[in-house]
Amino acid sequence: MKKETKFAIFLNSIGGVLVILLCVIAFNIITAQLKIKADLTEGNLFTLSEGSKKLLDGLAEEREGDSESSRLEIRFYVTRGEKGVPVVVNEHGTRVEDLLDQYKAYSGSNLELQKINPRRDTDAEELAVNDGIQLLNNAFYIGMAISYLDSTEVIPVLDPTRATNLEYDISRAIKNVLQLKDDRETVGVMSGLNVWGGPDPTNPMAMMNRGQQQPPWYFLQQLQRDFNVERIEPAAADIPATVKVLLLIHPKNVSEATEYAIDQFVLRGGKLIAFVDPLAQRDDSGQQNPQMRIPGLGGGSNLNRLFAKWGVPFNNTQVVADFNYRLTPRDPVAQGRLQPAYLALNKNALNKEEVVTRDLGTIRLPYAGSFDTSDVAIGLKVTELITSSEQAKLVDGMSSQFNGAKIMDSFLTGSTDGNPVGTKKHVLALKLGGKFTTAFPDGKPSAANAEDKDEKATTEDKTHLTESDGDNYVCLVGDTDILVDDHFILQQRFLISENITFVQNLVDHFGDDTLINIRSRNQNRPFTTIVDLEKEAQKKFESKLKKLEAEQQEILQQKTKLESAGEGGNQFTLRIDPEALKEIQAKELDKRKQIRAIRKQLRSEIDLIQLNIKLANIGLMPLLVIFFGIGFFIRKRKKTAAV
């Protein structure tokens, strides 16, 4: 047998590589034309959800195969090939196109999809402007207009930071154009707070209808986009039959007549979402001087008769303080103070089994109250939606705003191992389901005028409901500040919590659940291994950091006390002891340095963890291929040598 020369082996190797390369190129060219995809993600995140398909199925039923009838039209505008278009916008535009292709593929001839490139000073740009698409950075457009019959819904900017909500935003717009405004569900809002906007009570000029007026709260603006929102006065004695979902916000000193109306609303199948609060920071009813606001003077809210009947009494005088979910001084809202009664809750506090909470990340509840679920009424079942940790207790609401450090110390009082001592988990939000019975067994409360009593009784008793026909549901939340813009967004719409998403989930869940199936898909896929390793690293430094922060807080208190004593002096006494102040300042500087050093070590360790995982991801596969190649070469060499 003739032995191959080294040159021949080399040529054969090069030829084999070229053949493989040509096969790969040909495979890519052929498969690119076939539009074949496989979604291997958990939950099929890159496939249209059932909610979106349900909307498109409704469109098909409405058109009933009539090719002459109007089609749903989507005009997608994204600027391509222009200078000044960020890479992230191009990538997001491609992602939007891929998703819209799925809408088109599923709906077929029922949907007309136009992809338009609105470059500057072109007819396409004029179309974008006419559709209300917003020009960004004076250079590009990325937005969408959806039309059906005479209705058009515009998404002026498709924000890349909302990529995880992309399908929800598109499907919500489709739902709004397919559904006539008169056919949308009616959501009633009965509020003891000024959620509707109008004059600013802290601005005398605005109160005289001069100056800037306050807009409706953000949650209300979002509801008005998707539902017919009806305003119901806080003292209303009747809930309109058109209202399917009722948002009851801060019901304070509610009359029997109003509570009876709510009772009957639930018994006839209406869905109630009630927000009660022991300390509503936006309740200005107790303010003597609106320009000098002190949060919480307005008093707590409650539904005493209904909650007692349902077996879920609410504590509207005390708030929940939580050692684990406290707001830290580093938080921008905390203003450098410890606030254990301002709860910044993470996934561990949310019910992972319920659709309204399972995919939320953080919820903020400032000075929330708790429900007692130990003796729920027969026939009803409680599902806890949001709970505190076990290191939690009830404290006075008003003083909790100013005595955060004292409350934190109280958690450690009586501790033998240094761990915080709490009482139990507290229920902050719940869903109550089952067959409801009336809290007014004697019928509607008596009329104010005795003469009308007999006449009204004959008509009222016929319509008085004593129990619901079937199972119904209500949702109770122990906080109203969850609805306030300040507690979920900062300036420039920087998101800090998912409060409003939670509220929207509740309304969608109790109303039309088409959209909640889209929004509640778990699209946030964190690298759990990295997160777990980072938590382990944080635990190493957490105790040291807490100790140093406590010492720093003590030094600051000493400094404040010394400065206050100095300010109380007169011209015959020293205003302040300079040596004592100098010593305290030196201690303060030293503690800051130690805290910075600890944080620097923590950041370094986390960076090292991320680097090691990155190197493993990048280098592991090439190393395996190299080792496999070396092993294959050695094995072949041995066989060749044996021949």
Torsion of CA 539, 545, 550, 551, to 10 degrees: 140
Q: Hey, where are the domains in the chain?
A: 56-178, 184-316+370-388+424-443+462-519, 528-642
Structure tokens at 540: 């190493």
Contact 214, 201 (CB under 8 A): no
The pLDDT of residue 373 is 95
d(CA 140, CA 80) in angstroms, rounded, equals: 8
Phi-psi region of 111 (alpha: psi -120 to 50; beta: other; left: phi over 0): beta
Query: Domain 56-178 falls in which CATH fold?
Result: Glutaredoxin (3.40.30)
Strands 271-275 and 151-155: unpaired
Q: Is the dihedral of CA 172, 175, 177, 183 positive or negative?
A: negative
Q: Residue written as tokens 């006449």?
A: 455
- Between CA 188 and CA 573 the distance in angstroms is 65
Please give the share of the chain, as a percent, with pLDDT higher than 70. 75
Joined tokens for residue 472: 């119904």
Q: Is residue 316 within 8 Å of residue 278, measured between CB atoms?
A: yes
Which structure tokens are listed for 550?
């406590």
For the chain, the farthest-separated pair of C-alpha atoms sits apart, in whole angstroms, at 123
In tens, the pLDDT along 43-99 reads: 555 678 888 999 999 899 988 877 778 899 999 999 998 888 999 999 999 999 999
Q: Which of 366-375, 500-509, 563-572, 611-620 is predicted most confidently?
A: 366-375
What values do phi and psi take at 603, rounded to 5? -60, -40
The two beta strands, 111-116 and 72-78, are parallel
First to last CA, the chain: 9
Tens-digit pLDDT profile for residues 201-236: 555 555 555 556 788 999 999 899 889 999 999 999
How large is the C-alpha radius of gyration of the chain?
Answer: 32
Tell me which residue of 469, 482, 506 sits closest to 273, measured CA to CA.
506
CATH class in words for 184-316+370-388+424-443+462-519: alpha beta
Token readout for 526 is 């964190």
Q: Which residues contact 314 (CB under 8 A, 6 or more apart)?
A: 276, 302, 303, 307, 369, 370, 371, 372, 476, 478
- Encoding tokens for residue 412? 């450690």
Residues 6 or more apart in contact with residue 319 via CB below 8 angstroms: 278, 279, 341, 367, 368, 369, 394, 395, 396, 397, 400
Amino acid at the residue 105: A
* Angle, vertex CA 271, rays to CA 265 and CA 274, nearest 5: 90
List, for residues 192-205, the tens digit of each pLDDT value. 999 998 775 555 55
Q: Copy the structure tokens of residue 309.
A: 């009947």
Q: Give percent above pLDDT 90 in the chain.
A: 40
Eight-state DSSP code of residue 209 = T
**DSSP helix/strand/coil, 342:** strand
- Dump pLDDT digits (tens) for 5-57: 666 665 566 766 677 778 878 877 777 666 566 665 555 556 788 889 999 99
Angle 406-407-411 (CA atoms, 0-180°, nearest 5)? 115
pTM listed for this prediction: 0.69
- Distance between CA atoms of 94 and 84, rounded to whole angstroms? 17
